[in-house]
Amino acid sequence: IKKIGVMTSGGDSPGMNAAIRAVVRACAYHKITCLGIYRGYQGLIEGDFEEMNARSVHHIINKGGTILKSARSQDFRTQEGRAKAYENIKKANIDALVLIGGDGTFTGGMVFNEEYNFPVIGIPGTIDNDIFGTKFTLGYDTALNTVVDAIDKIRDTASSHNRLFFVEVMGRDAGHIALNAGVGSGAEEILIPEENLGLARLLESLERSRKSGKSSSIVVVAEGDKTGKNVFELAEYVEKNLPYYDIRVSVLGHMQRGGSPSCYDRVLASRMGVKAVESLLEGKTNYMVGIQDDKMILTPLDQAVKGKSEIDKELLKVSDIMSI
Ligand code: F6P
């Protein structure tokens, strides 16, 4: 392997820049060329590449977003799109790809590997932490801190006005952000897709809170929760059933994906970038790098995509006890 291409694809996450930096510098260290591919698979199809060296990635370890930009390419889902991408790869003499993204990115990589037998390694970059084969994805830790900071602020105003707030957080179909940030911000209730406790239990819990003397409350709602109601409908439902509550809704949205990465995410990104490049140099392909018990590990991409990243059941219990 003499030339590696690196891209970020799908929803961006804090730490992606730190991972790009790590890949570029690991390539420089091992004396191979690194090409940055802009806008993920779309840039591969359009031949939007730029050679990068150790100096092109200075002062980006602390930056949110991704300097290579990101996209969810529809064209790469077609055979013609992938053929065009392969043509560009051959023209540029790229020998392998490092793909930084989530399950959609990895699925694209697997299809491409199958069709063209082209070496790929994935780095899990998503705030959702919903990838099997790694305890943490890049950006998750930063997003948790962002959400906790936001909820702390909401708590201030909730308590001044004796209000009940429903706060919707991201996570797609996973409740990791909601559960961890919920416990970390002292939320009274946390609604996650993995554990639908039902609306009756939510009412019960809020009633109990009121009776126990709480004047304000926070309910954290994962965007993928399974109550069958969106966060506004939930708030309306509770308002109807418990009219003494003055209720507001806050949807945190895309601010959860921004910001300077935490130290944890920067270190993780650096380790993952090095592991990705060195794995390719060892002839490995079709794997994702991950962290387990503080060690870098490899998981086959198909398992990373198909497997489930389980929610921490102990944390559910802790949350329950804390909201007494
Ligand atoms: O996967 C990251 C994520 O931020 C999810 O939490 C969210 O459901 C989705 O992306 C939002 O996607 P978009 O940026 O396309 O609105």
What are the pLDDT digits (tens) for 113-128? 999 999 999 999 999 9
State the closest ligand 1 atom to the C-alpha of 72, by its place in the atom list counted from 1: 15
56 is in an annotated binding site: no
Between the CA of 319 and the centroid of ligand 1 the distance, in Å, is 25
8 is in an annotated binding site: no
C-alpha distances (whole Å) from 179 to each of 99, 194, 232, 252, 305 are: 28, 10, 20, 15, 22
User: In the block, which residue shows the tokens 């965007």?
Assistant: 223
Q: pLDDT class for 110, splitting at 50, 70, 90?
A: very high
pLDDT tens track for 299-310: 999 999 999 999
Residue 323 in this model has a pLDDT that exceeds 90: no
Reply yes or no on whether 128 is catalytic.
yes
Q: pLDDT class for 215, splitting at 50, 70, 90?
A: confident
Ligand 1 binding pocket mutation candidate from 103, 127, 221 (most atoms within 8 A of CB)? 127
Separation CA 128–CA 143 (nearest Å):
9
pLDDT at 93: 98
Q: pLDDT class for 197, splitting at 50, 70, 90?
A: confident
Q: Which residues line ligand 1 (CB under 6 A)?
A: 11, 102, 126-128, 170-172, 223, 257
Give the percent of the chain with pLDDT over 90.
98
pLDDT at 47: 97
**Mean pLDDT, rounded, for 292-300:** 98
Edge-to-edge strands of the sheet including 217-222?
Answer: 189-191, 217-222, 163-169, 246-251
Q: What is the DSSP letter of 169?
A: E
Q: pLDDT class for 46, splitting at 50, 70, 90?
A: very high
pTM, rounded to two decimals: 0.97
Mean pLDDT score of the chain, rounded to an integer?
97
248 is in an annotated binding site: yes
pLDDT tens track for 250-293: 999 999 999 999 999 999 999 999 999 999 999 999 999 999 99
Q: Which of 183, 133, 191, 141 is nearest to 307 (CA)?
A: 133
Q: Which of 12, 128, 130, 141 is catalytic?
A: 128
**Mean pLDDT, rounded, for 144-157:** 98
Residue 324 in this model has a pLDDT that exceeds 90: no
Establish whether this prediction's ipTM goes over 0.95.
yes
Q: Which residues pair with 101 in a beta bridge?
A: 124
User: In the block, which residue shows the tokens 């503080």?
Assistant: 294
